[in-house]
Structure 1
Amino acid sequence: MPRPEDSGPPELFYNIDEAKKYTSNSRIIEVQQQMSERAFELLALPEDCPALILDLGCGSGLSGEVLEENGHFWVGCDISQAMLDVALEREMEGDVIQSDLGQGVGMFRPGMFDGAISVSALQWLCNSNSSAENPFRRLFIFFTTLYSCMKRNSKVVLQFYPDSPQQAELIVKQATRAGFNGGLMVDFPNSSKAKKVYLVLSCGDATFQMPKALGEDDGSQCVYTANERVRQGRVNKKTLTRKQWVLKKKDRMRRQGKQVANDSKYTGRKRSKKF
């Protein structure tokens, strides 16, 4: 199934029809709400203290609705005017601005926001729809201007769908290059449907620690940092024998519900050369 960002620029993909679908499709609304609630939870804002949150790629305001329900104020940015028009029709309480995240969020004053969230928007910055669009540069501009408009020690939580480990690594490196601490956290890494990737960042807090991912009871929480890829609860492949590595891989596939051949004394042995 093709990814939406491979179909062209977001301002063209999210046209009037697509914008209306976002507010009429119950499945889309449910998924967006769940991810927005999880992003808000990871912000870990102080209780009983209304905050000003920046919603990046706010769309029709589904994420903003979650922020409102939790008693906070928000400002949203999105490149699609059709999506913003739907947000205005829904009479959302937040203020919305049409802007390209690849051009940065430099329109806001320094230290303005107590936190920032985003749902399903960040991966669009990694696509080039013209020779003038450089993903490396767009990501760096985005993160540097975002860092500037955040209060010190505030958090940023960005949910997105990376199309490869290399893309995920690029995003984390550009974020940390801009000054953020943190990395990627993966909820339910062994589930094809429930798996969700969140970029959890802290602005200026050197003691920041990554939050606990959901579904890590199976020992397979995935955490990506700027300079390394760490799989907590697993042993590096280089420290395992061939048979141990094969057995561990087969066990992981079983937990994913895949059919795997039974273990035997021949598991992990090299095949003899054919005559």
Structure 2
Amino acid sequence: MARPEYQAPPEVFYSECEARKYSQNSRMIDIQVQMSERAVELLALSDEPHFLLDLGCGSGLSGSVLEDQGHTWVGIDISSAMLDVALERDVEGDLLLGDLGQGLPFRAGAFDGAVSISALQWLCNADKSSHHPAKRLYTFFSSLYACMNRTARAVFQFYPENSDQMELVTSQAMRAGFFGGVVVDYPNSTKAKKFFLVLMSGGAAPLPKPMGESEEKEGISYTSKREQLKKMRGKPLKKSREWILEKKERRRRQGKPTRHDTKYSGRKRSGRF
């Protein structure tokens, strides 16, 4: 099967039908959430809330991971159909329709970090006669560099087609002022292998350690480690009463309409209905 980015431009490929299918497939949701949580881990943020940018936010699945961890976020995507689904899902982040290849319209130093899931490879295509991938990548990375503070990181999970495409992406990022490189999780696994471009705006630093064979052999799942970390930090488990009340309180602080707390908030249904 041809790669999605070779079938049509993203704003065409992610039609209303495709956007809903992508956002309702439980397997794809699980994968998206796991990659988003790994991307946030690679950001190496402190425990306090941060203001983050979600690049190619789609239907807001990755943004939901950011808000679950207490962060405020802004998402940008080229597909209006995907953004419509995000609005229906009532995500907490602000949403913007835009083409990453034309640059980002944010003020200098606005964000504490940025994540992107499965979007970067689309910029390597020339969908129009006016598109030049190297120029579009440089425009994108230079505008991203400008709108991040000087201690911020950006983490991109992407699917490079080959080494030449990976070189194209990384060279334009370095040319724009970033330091960093590619972290490859599970490099010896065809199924679990994932590429993360980790960019640093404040100077060179060692790249994070990739997840590899030792964890696979020992049977340690990233999900179980993630849940243990949440418990250690004292954060409520997702969908619990405490988690729901925290989320509602965040919405109130943001001035969004929120239902009142009652004794039924977060209570499980009995199964009789």
Pairwise TM-score range, normalised by the shorter structure: 0.7 to 0.9
1:136 and 2:138 correspond = no
Distance in 2 separating the partners of 1:59 and 1:174: 24
**Counterparts of residues 260-271 of structure 1 (less than 5 Å):** none
Flag the 1:216–1:153 CA change in 2: closer, same or farther, 3 A: farther
1:8 partner SS: coil
Equivalence for 2:202: 204
Aligned-residue offset at 1:217: 3.9
Q: CA deviation at 1:125?
A: 0.2
The question of 1:151 aligning with 2:149 is answered yes
Q: Determine the structure 2 residue equivalent to 1:237.
A: none
**TM-score scaled by length of structure 1:** 0.77
Query: 1:157-194 CA deviation, whole Å, 9 max, x = no partner?
Result: 00000001000011000000000000111000111110
Distance in 2 (alpha carbons) for counterparts of 1:10 and 1:212: 32
Q: How does 1:111-260 map to 2 (within 5 A)?
A: 111-206=109-204, 208-215=205-212, 217=214
Letter matched to residue 74 of structure 1: W
Percent identical pairs in the alignment equals 60
Shift of 1:8: 1.4
The answer to whether the Cα contact below 8 Å between 2:182 and 2:197 also exists between their aligned partners in 1 is yes
Shift of residue 153, structure 1, vs aligned partner? 1.6
Shift of 1:83: 0.2
Q: Which residue of 2 aligns with 1:70?
A: 69
- SS of 1:111 mapped into structure 2: coil
CA contact (8 A) 1:179 1:204 kept: no
SS of 1:91 mapped into structure 2: coil
Counterparts of 1:18 and 1:82 in 2: how far apart (Å)? 9
1:104-154 Cα offsets, whole Å, 9 max, x none, are 11x100000000000000000000112100000000000000000000021
SS at match of 1:71: coil
Q: 2:145 touches 2:178 (CA, 8 Å); kept in 1?
A: yes
Alpha carbons 1:155, 1:200 under 8 Å: kept: yes
Residue type matched to 1:118 in 2? S
User: In structure 1, what residue type is equivalent to 2:114?
Assistant: A
* AA at the equivalent of 1:117: V
Counterpart CA distance in 2 for 1:34 and 1:157 is: 14
Q: CA deviation at 1:205?
A: 2.2
Aligned residue for 1:109, secondary structure, equals: coil
Runs of 4+ that moved beyond 4 A? none
2:188–2:213 Cα contact (<8 Å) kept: no
**Which whole-Å CA distance do the structure 1 matches of 2:70 and 2:173 have between them?**
29
Deviation of 1:76 after TM superposition, in Å, equals 0.1
Q: CA RMSD in A?
A: 1.0
Contact 1:54 1:75 (C-alpha < 8 Å) held by counterparts: yes
Give the whole-Å Cα distance in 2 for the aligned partners of 1:153 and 1:24.
36
Contact 1:55 1:118 (C-alpha < 8 Å) held by counterparts? yes
- Normalised TM-score (structure 2): 0.78
Partner Cα separation in structure 1 for residue 130 and residue 89 of structure 2: 35
1:61 partner letter: G
1:79 aligns with 2:78: yes
Indicate the SS of the match to 1:194. coil
SS at 1:23's partner residue?
A: helix
Distance 2:203 2:161 in 1: 29
Q: Distance in 2 between matches of 1:141 and 1:155?
A: 18
Question: Structure 1: which amino acid aligns with 2:19?
Answer: A
Deviation of the 1:62 alpha carbon: 0.2
